[in-house]
Structures are given as C-alpha cells and as structure tokens.
Amino acid sequence: MATNRTAKSAATRQRFVDEALRLFKEQGYERTSMAQIATAAGSSRANLYLYFNSKSQLIRARMAEIETEVAELYAVLDGMPEHTPDTLREWLVTAREMWMRYTTEFEAVNQAMAIDPDVLDEWLGLIRRVTSAHATLHLPRATAEERAEREAHMTTLMMSLERTFYFLYIRGHKEQEELVLTSLARQWARLFDGAG
C-alpha cells in the first residue's frame, strides 16, 4: 500500500513539473501562475503547494532531472582520447541533440534566471559541478592555480555553448550554424590542448 502511495505521489509531483514546463513554453515563465499550473495538472493549489512552494522550485526540479544527462555529455567530452577540432565538432552535434531535446527546459531556465536569483544560482551550481568533475582539467602535475584557471575556462565555454545554442535554436538564427559550431570546436580544442 505504501508503495502505491509513493508511486502516486511521484506521479503527481512529475505531473506538476511537466505541466509547469508546458505552460512556461506556451505563455512564458513570468506570466504563468501557480494557480494555472495546479489547474493544468488537474489538481488544486493546496496540493501543488504540498510539493512545490514556487515556480522556481518547479524549474529547479526539472534541472535536477536533466543534470545527470548533462554531466554524462561532458564526461564523454572528458574521456575522449583526443580533442581535435574534428572530434569536438562531432561532440557538439551530440550536445546539440541533447539541447534540442530539452529546448523547453533551457528556455524556461533562461526566463527564470532573469527573475529568480535561486534559479541562476542553481544553474551556476550545475555548471560548477559538471566542470569540477573533469579529470582532464585536474591533471596531477597542474598547480592549484592552473587547475582553477582551466576550470574557469571550461565554465565560460560551457556558458558560451549554452548561450550559443539559445541564439541558434531558440531565437532561430541558424543561418551560420556550421560556422558557429566549427568555431566552438576550435575553442574547445584550445582548452583541452592547454590541459595536456
């Protein structure tokens, strides 16, 4: 009986997150209310507040759901035997595919970061967690200063990649997509070349 209750609770929680994301996509993060989310999920505001106190909690819940996949994507990057512009260009195609699967989430995160500082803090935390896990950046011979510099470089490139994908695929400026992705691959190659 407790297992059924737990499964039902998890399904209800997930329904709130899914409906919130759908509404954020349709009408924007700022214009979506908690009452609208509850109604869209076929529930009450009181029930919604048992699970989430704010829209930012809803978006951070989705961020937590996709963090593992983001980390795995960057683990593949870290584990590549060589980081040439060509191999990195292939990796960027995989990154683009993942980003496209979560376009709604990334758009909602961007909107939420402009309004809710805790969403921005969580997004930066996710980037830091992923960046700090990179073995290539933390070579045993590197000094603490060198490791910090490499980690900062990786962080800025991750942020740049996200903004570039936003510009290309959310804002619809794909006319120079190939040139932009090739340029990014060269930037990543320089980072990893410096870590070797």
Higher-confidence residue of 196 and 66: namely: 66
Domain interval for residue 31 = 1-53
If asked whether residues 177 and 145 sit together in one domain, one would say: yes
The two tokens of residue 21 are 């994301």
- Angle formed at CA 185 by CA 103 and CA 195, multiple of 5 degrees: 115
DSSP string, 24-47: HHHH-TTT--HHHHHHHTTS-HHH
Confidence of residue 175 (pLDDT cuts 50, 70, 90): confident
Q: Which residue in the block uniquely carries the two structure tokens 């609208």?
A: 36
* CATH number for position 80: 1.10.357.10
Task: Please tell me whether residue 11 adopts helix, strand or coil conformation.
Answer: helix
121 vs 7, residue with greater confidence: 121
Residues 168 and 174 sit within 8 Å (Cβ to Cβ): yes
Q: Helices H, strands E: what count in the chain?
A: 9, 0
Return the minimum-mean-pLDDT range out of 19-23, 129-133, 176-180: 129-133
Question: Among 88-102, 153-167, 173-187, whose mean pLDDT is lowest?
Answer: 153-167
Query: How deeply is 68 buried, as exposed, middle or buried, from its count of CB atoms within 10 A (0-12, 13-18, 19+)?
Result: exposed
Of 165, 151, 180, the residue nearest 78 (C-alpha): 151
* Model pTM score: 0.82
**Do 59 and 48 fall within a single domain?**
no
If asked whether residues 87 and 31 sit together in one domain, one would say: no
The domain tally of the chain equals 2
| Rg, C-alpha atoms of the chain | 19
Task: Report yes or no: 181 and 92 within 8 Å, Cβ to Cβ.
Answer: yes
